[in-house]
Chain A
């Protein structure tokens, strides 16, 4: 009995092993047959594709490629547009720079004379102050003194570009800043448009009555228009209030006939 059971146990272990191996082996064989079958089918299929099918497939492919190329061509402008959008995202370019931008956009069309013209243009910035370099570009003479940008009273506006004046006018319309008004007054004074200079000096003065330059431009414009006494009276009033040496000097100049 003992041997019989031992033998039976051995047979049982063999049976369990067999039961384990059968599904494993059958799955391997199935996978092998499956992959082999697929390989043969694949080969057979590739080697037995009718020529007409190949031709039609090629034709379809070409048509598809053509469509795709059309699509690409359609997409390209969009990409460019996107690129322009990127440019728009950059900080707002001042008005003068817009003209420069024009120059960048059409660089070949700009003549050397035109380039020279651009050099003399005053660059406008978003802030209310002009940098020393910007002011220096207005005048070659004054460029020597541009190392002291804070001395605005010494600056004589060289550029009388209409474009500049219009731009500044637009800027003033938005800002109502006494500085813009004063810059316009100076520009008109430089341009010998004394009436406008007088008006803009008055505007600047109305906004800020302590603004010395507005008094000076106003008085000098009056003097230039032949109203010397009136100019002296105005400056005298200002001198009595501010004790400004500049005002005193200007009175002296008017009296001597230098202005």
Chain B
């Protein structure tokens, strides 16, 4: 017999999947803002925020929602090689494969894009753009200037990347959507929806307001950290369920286990 908590634990495995997207007020607001921005004649849109604030998830959601209606391409993993990147862009736009022994000439790509002005509009969703070189970013900007190719890029907000974001994209970015950590209420909603969606209403009811407060305090409302934390919590529950069921209650979350998980993840220095 499989453990109930083993199943619950799996829900919190951090993965970018449209099925894992949870409708929250803040996320919906950002999604609508992003979709509206795509309708405007903007060259570049920046999704900007700390890791785990839901940028990739939002990008993924946008791709899956629009792929049937628009010419949209999603680069989930960053393509660090300039050659591979240009090849990928060309193949996505033309629908043709570039032979192995050939490479895409940037000037040629630019001319190809200019030739499509007024005829087509292609959207590229680029995740983890902080990994792209400055030279490649410059080429992205030039491509976006053709008004044929539109880029939605995501950037991590760290001290160094903040400078990149501000200095490098200052004159090129037309729209900036800042992604933030969620509030306690949104976090509660996030966990409830996530659990109920998978049929764990009983587990959802175990999480009380004060547990949410504690989880939020530990994770600072960050989705990635929350998922990691909940995964660890239910991992411990899974162990007790299998080895010492008397130690756990199925009515409320154990403070001890919350603290143990926090110790395990280094949130608490024990």
Contacts and interface: CB of A to CB of B under 8 A. Distances in A.
Contacts of A5: 236, 239-240, 243
Contact of A11 (B240, B243, B270): B270
Contacts of A11: 260, 263, 270
Question: Which of A11, A12, A18 has the largest number of chain B CB atoms within 10 A?
Answer: A12
Interface string B225-266: 000000000001001100100000000000010011001100
Interface of B is mostly: helix
Given A5-B236, A18-B270, A12 B243 contact: no
A8 B243 contact: no
Contacts of A14: 270
Contacts of A2: 239, 243
Interface residues of A, number: 11
Contacts of B240: 5
Interface string A96-107: 000000000000
B218 to A, nearest CB: 14
A15 B243 CA distance: 23
A8 B239 CA distance: 12
Given A2-B243, A8-B260, A8-B263, A15 B236 contact: no
A14 B259 CA distance: 12
A12 B239 contact: no
A11 B267 CA distance: 13
Given A5-B236, A8-B236, A15 B268 contact: yes
A16 B270 CA distance: 9
Nearest to B268: A15
B259 to A, nearest CB: 6
Contacts of B236: 5, 8
Counting chain B residues whose Cβ lies within 8 A of the other chain, the interface size class is 10 to 19
B260 A1 contact: no
A78 B188 CA distance: 80
Interface string A25-49: 0000000000000000000000000
A1 B270 contact: no
B183 to A, nearest CB: 27
Contacts of B270: 11-12, 14-15, 18
Given A14-B270, A15-B270, A9 B260 contact: yes
Given A8-B263, A8-B264, A11-B270, A1 B256 contact: no
Contacts of B259: 12, 15-16
A12 to B, nearest CB: 5
B263 A1 contact: no
Contacts of A1: 239
A13 to B, nearest CB: 9
Contacts of A16: 259
A8 B268 CA distance: 12
B241 to A, nearest CB: 12
Contacts of B239: 1-2, 5
B261 to A, nearest CB: 8
B135 to A, nearest CB: 46
A11 B262 CA distance: 11
B3 to A, nearest CB: 12
Nearest to A17: B270
Question: Which of A8, A9, A11 has the largest number of chain B CB atoms within 10 A?
Answer: A8
A1 B244 CA distance: 13
A16 B239 CA distance: 21
Nearest to A10: B270
B59 to A, nearest CB: 36
The 5 residue pairs across chains A and B that have the minimum distance between CB atoms: A15-B270, A11-B270, A12-B260, A5-B239, A8-B260
7 contacts: A1-B239, A5-B236, A9-B260, A11-B260, A12-B270, A15-B263, A18-B270
Interface of A: 1-2, 5, 8-9, 11-12, 14-16, 18
Given A5-B240, A9-B260, A18-B270, 19 more contacts: A1-B239, A2-B239, A2-B243, A5-B239, A5-B243, A8-B260, A8-B263, A8-B264, A11-B260, A11-B263, A11-B270, A12-B256, A12-B259, A12-B260, A12-B270, A15-B259, A15-B263, A15-B268, A16-B259
